[in-house]
Structure 1
Amino acid sequence: MKSTFFSFLFFIIAFHIKAFSVNIPAVSDSLNYYIQIVDQPQNADELIKAYKFFVRKKEFAESINDINSVVYANIQLSRIELKIGLPYESEILAVKALEQINAHPDSIYLNTLKNSVYNHLGILYRSQKNISKSIELYHKVLSQANSVRDTAIVFNNMSNAYKDVADYAKAKKELIKAYQLIPRLSDVSLKAKILDNLGALKLKIGDSSAIYDLKKALNLLLKNGDTVKAYYNYKNLANYYLTKDTLKAKSFGLKAYAIANSMNNLSNKRDVLAILSELDAKTYFKTFMEVDRVLSNRKALQANKFALMKYDVSKKEKELQEKEQQTRLYLYLVLLIVLITIAFFYILSVKHKKDRLKQVLQTESRISKKIHDEVANDMYQIMVKAQAQEQTNILLDDLEAVYLKTRDISKENSVINTSQNFKETLQDLIASYDTSDVNIVTQGLSKIPWQSLSHLKKVTLYRVLQELLTNMKKHSKASLVMLVFNKEAKLNVKYTDNGVGCSLIKQSGLQNMETRIKAIQGSITFETRKQAGFKANILI
């Protein structure tokens, strides 16, 4: 039965693993590719593809309990939602990522992810014009920044937040902090971004030195081959020369437009066309209006498309959860049925053992009665006749020996009265073995609540003690026997004698005792060795 039970458990575990596993994302999916999309999306369609990728990555990470990857995927999904125009949903997912991080022990990687969440929430609150909350989160990132690059990014972001609410003094103060870190930076793109932002800010406040920062930023990017990232520099230079040199303004504007056109970035095209329209409305204003209309329509369409895609993902997740719950329900139902079946067979097995023991006891009683009524009485009649016929004493002695044996057999298998005064029944049994050669000492016999034991347990205990005392009388040559009775959760009887002991080989006598005790869900242990007495410990 044990073998069957463990085989079933193995089946359950294997089935559980198979039932709740998910497909591993395809190897061809490149994490870096989709991260680049999230960082610099060309259009909303790319963001939708990235969203689907990180949903699959999150599902797989959850299936293998990889908390780091789960949090990372949630951060990227939150960033995508903000860029697609869903700040509320983005905030919910970012907060969830924070809760997941805080629910696990600190690690360098999780702390890095926590900073990423704080930085993202700072950008999110900035987009909602909640600058105080945005700055608060940026300060959290700043307090845990562990590199010059991270620190420079935070100062740059804080400057942008202040610039959004036209607090140019604070914006410049934070940006100067980032500017001072440029000599220690190795990231050329970040250096150029800080210089470009500083130039654009100076342009806003009418600082004539803006041109030097803008040109320095452009030279860094062109020298590094980052022509695509030069879009913002060209646009800012066009703005700088807008009122100073229209030819230069148009030249830089057209360069920015070319980059935006090559990237098919409608938002950037519209922004630079707005500048060109101020320079030459006749040529560029109509194009500006067309791009603006297409961009508005596309944004609405892409927002609907993204919402539909999110609904499909949510519906799929719900269906998957319902399927998992249904599978678990069936699994637990099967497990319950099997456990009930095992318990049922176990109860039947115990009942069968008890029934067998009862049958043994009934058989013993029947044998006892038959020996007493038939064999012993017949032997007694033979003895009477022999005396009447004045036969030899030898015959009488032999017949008396046979009579005594049959009487002992009858006594050993006689019916035991357990209904009342079972203590006295045991005392009588013990007294029958207490002779001038053997002293039997009992302890705790009177303190046992015998009425709490079932008839079957009383009879079993009686027979086992009888067997122990008989073995002692026949084999041990003991002069002292100790019987200690104690009742707590179970009845405990300890037997000890000072006999010659023996090798502990469980032959018929010891095996009979074990069989009887196990049939009533008890236990019996033996301890003996030659010339060191014999011990038995009974628990029922």
Structure 2
Amino acid sequence: MEKLPKFIFCLFVLLLFSCSKDIDSQKNPLQKKQANPYYEKAFVFLDKNEYDSTFYYLDKGKELFLRRNDSFGVGKSLVNMAITQENAGDNFGSIETSLLASKFFKEKDTAHHSFLFCNYNNLGVASNNLKNYKDSKRFYDKAFLFTKDPMDKLMLSNNIAIVLHNEKKYGKAIAIYKKLIDSIGPKNEFYPKLLLNFSRSKWYEDSKYNPVKNYLLAEKLSSAQNDDWNKDAAYAYLSSYYLNKNSDSSIFYAKKMLFLAKKLKYPVDELEALQTLIKLSDGANAQKYFDTYSRIQDSLINSQNKAKNQFALIRFESEKAKSENVILQKEKEINQSAITRQKIIIWALVIIAAIVTFSVSIWTKKRKEKLILEANNKLQYQRLNFSKKVHDVVANGIYEVMSTIENQKDIPTEKILDKLELMYEKSRDLSYNNNLQQEFNERVSGLINSFDNDKTKIIIIGNEADFWDGLNQSIKEELFQIIRELLVNMKKHSRASQVILRFVHENNTYDIKYTDNGIGLTEDFSEKNGFAGMRSRLKEINAILEIEERTSGLRLSIKLNEK
């Protein structure tokens, strides 16, 4: 945790607002008549730590300055708004506002320098909070150009040392701290702060270094100065040092830090102290600290989010009000001829749209009628063609069998059966050729549904046309026969009341998953129930059969890779 930015920021805010009042107090009588009541009222709410109201009146003060064409006043308002946002935890919003503020100051005007210093320092603080250390140092260096005050320069040097510490450049940070400490001496009010941070960076650089003596001295000096913020930092550093060395001491200082953070109403440090206590406590105490941590964290997050939302809402409402005024002004400038012209354009568009809609509907209707007529003609042709084939194959075959029986008195039964079987084969081939006119997934669905009855319900998932599109006809026919054998085997042996067939095409693999709730398989299942025939067909198309071992029912998968 970085303790010093918090203290420096407190100093920074005081410097900024005192600068504001000093500059305002130097105005001549004519300037005093142009006082901005919104800008002044913002500081009343700042004293109460009511940041949303502070931001609100600073924004209204900015708008008043804008109407007066007072760019310096606008810049002052924006700088204070940016600091308010950073103090409430809205670092991104603070940077955005500070960058906007810089456009309203003149770097060559010395009257603007105090605000330029504060603005660049705020950009450095917010960037450091966001761990954007490169930009943070760049902004601090820029702030040096706009101040000659020794305390301002001390603060900036200290802030840069903090960034270097965060970048783990401990040697460079130590060099800056040592130079600052030597320059101010132990009686200076900032000595405890600098001593704390110097000792901490020294410890980070050399783990054998013992910073406790300096931490305790800084705590003692802070007590003499009634500086609770600095004491809070000392307790934090002491607890951190003893964390892995002496748990009792770490707990002792963590509790003191927790007590002081509550007094200061600074939940960030409360959370840090509770983190240490949770790590080092056991049982009920750890749970108690954890519950307190969760409550404070939720409250802090809600408070920060509320502040960010409130700032954004205030800006939004302000911009919205300006936009509405502009719109109203433009509406007054629109004359009747413009309105009439607009109506003519609208009616022209409506008429064009109506003509296009009517034309499209007529074309669509005629095309639909044409497609229906073509489909009916094609279907009629297929029916006539199929009827002819039925007559040629089935009728002629039956006539041949009848003639044989009539003319050959002692014809053997086997010969008659052979003829009938031949006719059956031809009929089946005819049916097959006709089914080719169907989509293949419809053939598969027809096959599966033929086994669906009151005793056995079959669910089909994924049997869409695009599942079969990537397979050639011979593979599809083999899979069709395998599914038929699988269903015949189910009907004969499984006693299943529910069957699920799922067709999945993923990662260049075709997968037909079969599941039923029947009696399952016996140990010699490979020789029974048609599995031997299925395996032979699967081998022909380089597919595999995977069977899951189950105590009841059957689950298997037929997998085929794309070629």
TM-score, scaled to structure 1? 0.49
How high is the TM-score relative to the length of structure 2?
Answer: 0.47
